[in-house]
Structure 1
Amino acid sequence: MSRALSAFATAAVFGAAAATMFNYESSVVDAQSSPRSFGEADTSESPMAAYGLPSNVNLVRARGYISSLNHERRIPNWVMERIPHTKPKSKKDADSAAAGDDNGGKAAVSRTESKFYSDETVPEMFRSTNADYNKRGLSRGHLAPAQFHKNSQEEMNETFNLSANIVPQDMTMNACDWYRLESMTKKLSKEFEKGLWVVSGPLFVPILDMKSGKNMVSYEVVGTHNVAVPTHMFKCLLGVKEDNKKYLGCFVMPNEPITEEQPLTQYSVPSTYVERVAGIRIFPEASRGTGWGATAPADLCRNFECKGSYAAFSKSFRQVGRVRAATTEGQVKLVYAQLYQEGSVDAAVDRELQAKLKELGVTDAGKYQLKTTPTPSKGG
């Protein structure tokens, strides 16, 4: 190697190391506040990071979660939260809930007071905005659910940070199967006395391109800021019992309309699959032995019931998903016939049907009308 090339290589290595150090020290901000460092002492003192962080890139620490920002894709790489042990309600708690206080006597917290917002601590060129999410069929999907963060209004508000906790998510998958996964997570928190650690995030899964015969990663971008739409979503759960026994489960769902209900265990995958596709480590301190000790974590769904509940609005979103999944005139007319047989649907389903008929250029769309009822609101 020539002296010039050797000097260049040395400088490149030093420069890369310096860039890595600079990125780690300067890229962390508190949500809705000025940038601050996020050193080792901070992570070691945070219960959320007890088993290590998946990566150390562009970290954000909010009141209820830790997030890693992806400036290129304008979405998080991952979001980590810890769901504390939820004890069964006593009669006093049940009476309080019946009286309208379901927040343990703390100040009332309401989702209606929270608004999606752009994080002004993120450089403007890497920032996403509400306008980027105007495409029909996409929702602003939470990674750390708002409903899990009711300790204060400020904590809930921070779950609406577009850069740190939101991804473009298919609205029907968000309101149906992802909601079931969140419901399962909340239910499982009752089983683990020391808490339930959760890492959620987007995936960009390679698929085989039939024309070229090559594996390729292809995904949509939306809005003027080219916000990346994940092909899939993941959620990994680590539950810790009083005796420190640990249970691990990971789930991956396609970010598209899911037309039929499947058991949540159908979406279960090894944690190594998520690590390989996302390029992160799931609970890395534990996997190196400092957390697990000599005992590997047990399989979550083999030891606990991995089932979630639907919300009142989930049925109509499943019906919308069936309409959106239709790609031909014949398919959409078949879905129409099925929905017609099921009886009244909410108005949103009929609107989606009319939009799909128009999109496919169906000339006699006017005769495909569904009996409708008012659209239920989506909460949580």
Structure 2
Amino acid sequence: MFFRPRFNTKKYARRGFRLRGNTLVLLFVFFLIGLFLHYGGKTKPVVAFWNDVREIIGLRRSHAEKEESNPYRAPEPDSDVATDERPEPSASESEASDKRGRRSSKTKTNRESKIVRFEFEKQVDFILPVSRSGGELIRHEGYTLSYRDEYKDAEWVAYPLLDYETTGDADRKNEQFQPDRAAANGTALPSDYTRSGYDRGHLAPAGDFKYSQRMMRETFLMSNITPQVPDFNRGIWKELEDLVRTWAVRDNGLYIITGPVLKAGLPTIGKANEVSVPQKFYKVILYCNKPDIRMIGFLLDNEASESSLKQFVVPVDQIEQLTGIDFFPKLPDDLERKLESKGRGEMVDEWFSN
């Protein structure tokens, strides 16, 4: 005689927890928990990952979600009042740009009421310098640069810096340096700087693109990176970058061109590539708000300094002679000569006293 249970064991097994059917769900949940813990309790990466997964598997957002701005995305402009430099967003990014643009519409309206553009500003590529070297022109969404492959350095990086672009929730903490695939012959590698004694110094600073994580990520491309003495990069150079952002807020927008002074015979670092170590760096800054216009130049040695930034102000003509670069060539000739020949005292009075 065999004992027969009163309940159906097969039926019970079917209704119970089936490991094979729930393994993927469990793994996904544990992955999200691990991602949350990995980023120190921040929800932004988890939310971003979940949104990407929903798009991949085809889960559409509800109507309410479409109408509501994403609180985890920094505002981005839908147009640029200071320059025509930046390319139009691609179709795949247009929806995201529109949502972020709504958050900055009030700021944009206020800025438009304060800024009056000159006619020469409306020229295509107004901000771009002209160089005798014939460097490779590389355009990114946030900035444009001229890359010198023989030095594995950019000779200049140019971009407009608007007031609202210096604020936002973009964070450099989890960004990594990457080779720039847009360069025809490749760029330096992050490993070229390892144990070299030099920092991977930004030309277009990450802090100038806090309004967009995507554009901040672009600043970590190695075409935008140059060898800088650590105490210089983290000291006087950072002080200058902070000052420029302060001026951009004060003046509702500036044009920025920055780069190293490149020449033959510079020392090099690198394992896979020979990366030239510049001895000097410059910044050229232009402010336009019709009828007001002013320009200032900075030239700094690649070394630590405790001096005032005013001591590094030089005529833009001097930087042009050192670099062989013509800055803002689309300015009217008479106006360009006037702005670029101003002495330190006059520029200091114009920029530091306001």
Same fold (TM over 0.5): yes
- Distance across 2 between alignment mates of 1:166 and 1:201: 10
**Residue 240 (structure 1) aligned with residue 288 (structure 2):** yes
Q: Which AA in structure 1 matches 2:318?
A: Y
Secondary structure at the aligned position of 2:322 is classed as helix
Alignment map for 1:108-147 (pairs within 5 Å): 108-124=169-185, 126-147=186-207
Contact 1:48 / 1:197 at 8 angstroms: preserved in 2?
A: no
Displacement of 1:295 in angstroms is 6.8
Asked if 1:69 is matched to 2:154, the reply is no
Q: Aligned in 2, Cα 1:119/1:87: closer, same or farther, shift over 3 Å?
A: closer
SS at match of 1:174: helix
Shift of residue 64, structure 1, vs aligned partner:
1.1
Give me the whole-angstrom Cα distance separating, in 2, the residues matched to 1:133 and 1:287: 42
Partners of 2:165 and 2:184 lie apart in 1 by 42
- Which consecutive segments of 4 or more residues in structure 1 shift more than 6 A? 44-48
- Does structure 1 conserve the Cα–Cα contact (< 8 Å) formed by 2:196 and 2:269? no
**Cα pair 1:149 1:156 within 8 Å, conserved:** yes
Question: How many Å apart are 1:77 and its aligned residue?
Answer: 0.8
- Residue 255 of structure 2 corresponds to which residue in structure 1? 197
5+ unaligned residues in a row in structure 1: which ranges?
1-29, 34-43, 89-101, 206-216, 308-380
Aligned to 1:83: 161
The total of aligned residue pairs comes to 230
- Give the match's secondary structure for 2:180: coil
What amino acid does structure 1 have at the position aligned with 2:302?
A: N
Deviation string 1:104-141 (CA, Å, 9 cap, x unpaired) is xxxx42112321101123245x5210111013431010
Q: Which blocks of at least 5 consecutive residues in structure 2 are unaligned? A: 1-86, 91-119
- The one-letter code of the counterpart of 1:277 is L
> Distance between the aligned counterparts of 1:46 and 1:160, measured in 2?
29
Partner residue, 2:28: none
Who is 2:244 aligned against?
185
Residue number in structure 2 paired with 1:220: 267
How far, CA to CA, are the matches of 1:62 and 1:167 in structure 2? 17
After TM superposition, the score normalised by the length of structure 1 is 0.55
What CA distance in whole angstroms lies between the structure 2 residues aligned with 1:244 and 1:52? 22
Contact map agreement 1:48 1:66 (CA 8 A) in 2:
no
SS of structure 1 residue aligned to 2:163: coil
Aligned to 2:75: none
Q: Is the 8 A contact 2:165 2:209 kept in 1?
A: no
In the alignment, the residues of structure 1 paired with residue 256 and residue 121 of structure 2 have an alpha-carbon distance, to the nearest angstrom, of: 17
Which one-letter code corresponds to 2:254 in the other structure? L
Alignment match, 2:330:
285
Relative to the length of structure 2, the TM-score reads 0.58
Superposed displacement of residue 237, structure 1: 0.8
User: Are the counterparts in 1 of residues 259 and 283 from structure 2 also a CA contact under 8 Å?
Assistant: yes
* Structure 2 residue corresponding to 1:53, chosen from 126, 129, 139: 129
1:301-344 C-alpha deviation (Å, 9 max, x unpaired): 2123279xxxxxxxxxxxxxxxxxxxxxxxxxxxxxxxxxxxxx
Q: SS of the counterpart of 2:170?
A: coil
**Structure 1 CA distance for aligned equivalents of residues 165 and 139 of structure 2:** 27
Deviations 1:246-290 (A, max 9, x none): 1111111111233xx11111111111111111111111111525x
Does the 8 Å contact 2:143/2:158 carry over to 1?
Answer: yes
Q: Secondary structure at the match of 2:173?
A: helix
Q: C-alpha displacement at 1:294, in angstroms?
A: 9.8
Contact 2:127–2:158 under 8 Å retained in 1 = no
Question: 2:231 matched to which residue of 1?
Answer: 172
Identity %: 27
